[in-house]
Structure 1
Amino acid sequence: MKAQVIRSFGDANVFQLEDLPVPRVLAGHVLIEVKATSVNPIDTKVRSGAVPAVSPDLPAVLHGDVAGVVREVAEDVTNFKQGDEVYGLAGGFKGMGGALAQYMLVDERLIAHKPKNITMEEAAAIPLVTLTAWKALFQRAKIGEHDEVLIHGAAGGVGHIAIQLAKWIGATVYTTASNQAKLQIGKDLGADVAINYKKSSVQEYIDRYTNGKGFFTIFDTVGGQNLDNSFAAAAKHGTIVTIAARSTHDLTPLHSKGLTFHVVFLLLDVLNDTHRKELGETLKKITNIIEQGKLKPLIDSNVFSFDEVTEAHQYLESGQAVGKIVLVNKW
């Protein structure tokens, strides 16, 4: 089979097209003919060598998000059969082959049947960002109907999904973005209030929307300086969840406000054998929400082929993408 392989960690030029053996099916696994994948920030970090704790041994095939068709199943697999269309966050990390290949061997616990009302390309954009947003909002922040939540990064991969999930559960959603186009995306996705953080200071928007008390629940998908902004925007005894905490911060606001602070790093669940079943079960719930028309991925207008993986990584790292970057297998 054809595959995009890296033999060393580095910049986006490390990918090279190679012929590899088709993986043999193992117990509890299925072989997928890959139709599409998407690139996430974690994929670029793995490629660069920045996260050795979760990186596969070299040479490696990267990318976790996958959508495709089941071509072979192990004898002990009963939930899937040959010809099923499936999707999931299923590899590309330590001990697991990735999606940048014609075929991918996946643990059946990490996939679900593809929603019937979306394309393979859309399905490939769903798993990592949606499972991340689900864990952040419902398992960590525990938001519910009538809650208010501030979601940073309206047009980002995780942010745009988080807005839709929060609205699905019945919350009131405030979101931030850097320009009018991204603010409109947030509104179109269901956000009740969209805030231009370049034109309104934290103090200005908490005064305007919370009477100066701050937000009780904040989901920060941006990190860096914005995490400090989240500390400043939080109400006393509030909860902050982040997916980007690889930075140094003064934690005094957490103490002075009595805040609860959570970090979500979804790959820990992917790599932990005891957590995989939960991911697959959650993906089934997500499938139902998608088929109800309550959730849809935002796909960047630039769609790449597997032969253009270098360009796809460079585009993500440029910061110009809106929503998710998808790659289609044309081999």
Structure 2
Amino acid sequence: MKAMIINSYGASDVFELTEVAKPSVGPGQVLVKIAATSVNTVDTMIRQMGKELPLSPDLPAILGMDFAGTVEAVGEGVDAFANGDEVYGCAGGLADIPGALAEYMVADAKLIALKPKSASMREAAALPLVGITAYEGLTRAGVSQGQKVLVHGGSGGVGHVALQIAKAFGADVYSTGGGTKQLALIEDLGATGINYVDESVEAYVAKHTGGAGFDVVFDSVGGANLTNSFEAAALNAQVATTVSMVELDLTPMHFKGLSLHVVFMLIPMLHNHKREEHGVILQELAKLVDDGSLRPVVDENSFTLQEAGKAHDHLTSGNAIGKVVISV
């Protein structure tokens, strides 16, 4: 089969189109003919940083975590899927698990689900990593009917999904963005847009919550922005973040009695820990897509397998609106 291999870590030109052996399916696995794969920030980090990241694969490697495709073979013990099923998931591209930048990949059956019926392969491929991350963070934070929820970075990959899921859970959703395009997407997806460039945290908390703060803050920006999340949160509120690799003064958390939930969705893949939970979440996400509550946003630029490097560049440029997807 054809695959985009990296033989070294570094710039986006490290990808090489190569003929490699088609993988064989093992017990508990399915062989998927890949139709599309999306690019996540973590994919670009692995390519650039290599072994500085503990989750990076040994070389040569096939990257690409998210995918959608068609089951071509099922391994021993797999009864949830059959040949011809259209599936999606986040099931490789790190550690010792080859990824989706190839014509075929083998996936743990626990990490995948039937793709949403109403979604294209490209739309389905855009969803797994960001969808699981958003769903996990919101459910751990206990988002429920009538709560006021703030999503930081609502036009980004995780953020645009998080605000739609929070809305589907019955919350009153607000979201920050930094420009006209970002705020237009946020509003289009059903949240109240907040321009963080023009409006201070104090100002938008006063405007939208009467100064009380938000019941849940989902922070897909994280890092130093967590201080803004703490400021925006109500007393005894829940804060979920996808980026917490930062040294931070937690004093504001203490005096508000806040709870902090750190989401690192790669744990099941990396540690073979409760992988079946990802399959269940993907099933729930598919239901939300098919009932019209969730729409994955795909960037208008289309890339082929051979253009994987260009797809990485487009994501890191900051010019993408929605997920960057590669058609295989």
Report the Cα offset of residue 230 of structure 1. 1.1
2:296 maps to amino acid? P
Deviations 1:43-64 (A, max 9, x none): 1111122663212221110111
2:25 maps to amino acid? V
Report the Cα offset of residue 252 of structure 1. 1.9
Q: Does the CA-based 8 Å contact 2:238-2:260 persist in structure 1?
A: yes
**TM-score scaled by structure 1?**
0.96
Residue 307 in 1 paired to residue 315 in 2? no
1:95 — aligned with what? 96
1:251 — aligned with what? 250
Deviations 1:191-244 (A, max 9, x none): 1x2111111011111111122222221000012332221122122222111101
1:288 — aligned with what? 287
Residue 29 in 1 paired to residue 49 in 2? no
Secondary structure of 1:170's partner? coil
1:173 — aligned with what? 173
Counterparts in 2 of 1:2-151, with a 5 A limit? 2-49=2-49, 52-138=53-139, 140-151=140-151
| Separation in 1, partners of 2:293, 2:233 | 28
Report the Cα offset of residue 157 of structure 1. 0.4
1:49 maps to amino acid? M
| Separation in 1, partners of 2:325, 2:201 | 34
Change (3 A) 1:226 1:301: same
1:231 — aligned with what? 230
* Count of residues in correspondence between the two structures: 327
1:136 maps to amino acid? G
| Separation in 2, partners of 1:100, 1:280 | 21
1:182 — aligned with what? 182
Q: Does the CA-based 8 Å contact 1:4-1:101 persist in structure 2?
A: yes
Deviations 1:17-46 (A, max 9, x none): 111100111111111111100000111111
Report the Cα offset of residue 127 of structure 1. 0.5
Report the Cα offset of residue 153 of structure 1. 1.0
1:205 maps to amino acid? Y
> Which blocks of at least 5 consecutive residues in structure 1 are unaligned?
none
Secondary structure of 2:32's partner? strand
Q: Does the CA-based 8 Å contact 2:267-2:273 persist in structure 1?
A: no
1:291 maps to amino acid? D
| Separation in 2, partners of 1:255, 1:293 | 39
Report the Cα offset of residue 270 of structure 1. 2.2
Report the Cα offset of residue 128 of structure 1. 0.6
Taking only aligned residues, the RMSD between alpha carbons, in angstroms, comes to: 1.3
| Separation in 1, partners of 2:270, 2:123 | 24
Secondary structure of 1:49's partner? helix
| Separation in 2, partners of 1:60, 1:152 | 33
| Separation in 1, partners of 2:179, 2:173 | 18
2:263 maps to amino acid? V
- Extract structure 1 runs of 4+ deviating beyond 3 A: none
In percent, how many aligned pairs have the same letter?
47
Q: Does the CA-based 8 Å contact 1:125-1:326 persist in structure 2?
A: yes
Report the Cα offset of residue 251 of structure 1. 1.9
| Separation in 2, partners of 1:9, 1:252 | 40
2:239 — aligned with what? 240
| Separation in 2, partners of 1:316, 1:181 | 16
Secondary structure of 2:301's partner? coil
Secondary structure of 2:99's partner? coil
| Separation in 1, partners of 2:59, 2:213 | 47
Deviations 1:98-134 (A, max 9, x none): 0000110111111111111111000100111001000
Secondary structure of 1:300's partner? strand
**TM-score scaled by structure 2?**
0.96
| Separation in 2, partners of 1:299, 1:25 | 30
Secondary structure of 1:66's partner? strand
Report the Cα offset of residue 12 of structure 1. 1.5
With 69-78 and 124-133 compared, the bigger mean Cα shift is at 69-78
